[in-house]
A and B are shown apart, each in its own frame.
Chain A
Amino acid sequence: MPNPISQPGSDQEWEALLQQLRKQPRAQPRPFFYARVQARLTAQLPPRGWWLPDWARRPAYVALLGMLILAVSGDGAALRPAMATNQPASSSPH
């Protein structure tokens, strides 16, 4: 008996081949697919304190930042008047 799809030239043979393609068992995901999706979602959740940049979570950087803020904030202004009083005396053209 000749195989109806031995030569996919005619329309009938082509249709038979497409029918065969349709009749393939559908590929299925492995069991517990939902659990794996959940695990992936959890893994992608941002950790606590995610709104802070990475460097801000290191104590050394935080201390450095604190010192920088102190230096810029004007707490060092107490030193400035002394310098200011010394300068005119030394630079006066007398």
Chain B
Amino acid sequence: MAYSLSLPLCFNSLPKSDLGVVVADAELVAQLQQGSEAAFRSLVEKYQQRVYSTAFSLLRSAEEAEDVAQEVFVEVYQTVAKFRSETTLSTWLYRLATSRALQHRRRATAKKRFAYFTSLLGLQNQVLHEPPDHAHPLALLEGEQQLHLLLSYIGRLPSQQQIAFTLRHEQELSYDEIAAVLDTTVSAVESLLFRARHTLRQHLHASFRHA
């Protein structure tokens, strides 16, 4: 079945290789919209690593990242009919992954607060455990303390700054791509990254001065 492939104006400035990816993704989406299981499988296999690692960067938990990644692809399958090619497929997936990851974190924080509250009231006779530290294995090696510290400070940044910083420095997305994911302007992304870097450098500097 023929389908029209409309590319947004902002893709006109993309390099040929990126344009090829966008066209291939548009084809994949069109096939998925027609109910192709094979297209869904291709989409999952193509993007699972990016979606999972984005969720992992924001949550630092393999279990939660897996949960978020699964949720993202289930949502893609269920809502692909509504997908319009105003954004690229990868932008849509990054958007879903980051928003789902933040949702998970908010839920986990609320649960932790509730557990703390009930423990204060003595409603349950359980010992309140601190969540396990899912530091990156590399960060645990000798000489990796700074990376470990940096990762912990990234986790404490405000949500938008954290997403911008993670997408830039871990997923290596361009400013334009980050702006598309956050649905904002490039100058807003620059500002978010500037503030994130400033905060992180200040914290790291203070930590090492105290040490």
Contact with A along B77-92 (1 / 0, CB 8 A): 1000000000000000
Q: Are B65 and A27 in contact (CB under 8 A)?
A: yes
Q: Are A34 and B44 in contact (CB under 8 A)?
A: yes
Contact with B along A40-73 (1 / 0, CB 8 A): 1100100000000000000000000000000000
Given contacts A9-B205, A22-B172, A34-B41, contact A27 B62 (CB under 8 A): yes
Residues of B near A41 (CB, < 8 A) are: 74, 77
Q: Are B49 and A21 in contact (CB under 8 A)?
A: no
- Closest chain B residue to A37 by CB distance? B73
Given contacts A22-B172, A27-B56, A27-B62, contact A33 B147 (CB under 8 A): no
Question: What CA separation (Å) do A65 and B169 show in the bound complex?
Answer: 63
- Closest chain A residue to B50 by CB distance? A26
Select B169's contact among A7, A21, A25, A44, beta carbons within 8 Å.
A21
- Closest chain B residue to A5 by CB distance? B146
Question: What CA separation (Å) do A30 and B169 show in the bound complex?
Answer: 23
Question: What CA separation (Å) do A30 and B62 show in the bound complex?
Answer: 9
Q: Are B143 and A3 in contact (CB under 8 A)?
A: yes
Question: What CA separation (Å) do A9 and B74 show in the bound complex?
Answer: 44
Residues of A near B41 (CB, < 8 A) are: 34
Question: What CA separation (Å) do A40 and B72 show in the bound complex?
Answer: 11
Q: Are A34 and B62 in contact (CB under 8 A)?
A: no
Q: Does B195 make an interface contact (CB < 8 A)?
A: no
Q: Does B138 make an interface contact (CB < 8 A)?
A: yes
Residues of A near B204 (CB, < 8 A) are: 8, 17
Question: What CA separation (Å) do A6 and B205 show in the bound complex?
Answer: 10
Chain A residues in the interface with B (C-beta under 8 A) = 3, 5-9, 14, 17-18, 20-22, 24-30, 33-34, 36-37, 40-41, 44
**Could you list 16 A-B pairs, sorted by A, with CB under 8 Å?**
A7-B205, A7-B208, A8-B201, A8-B204, A14-B201, A17-B204, A22-B169, A22-B170, A22-B172, A24-B147, A25-B138, A27-B65, A34-B45, A37-B44, A40-B74, A44-B74
Given contacts A24-B147, A34-B44, 13 further A-B contacts (CB under 8 A): A3-B143, A6-B208, A7-B208, A9-B201, A14-B201, A26-B53, A27-B53, A27-B56, A27-B65, A33-B44, A33-B66, A36-B70, A37-B73
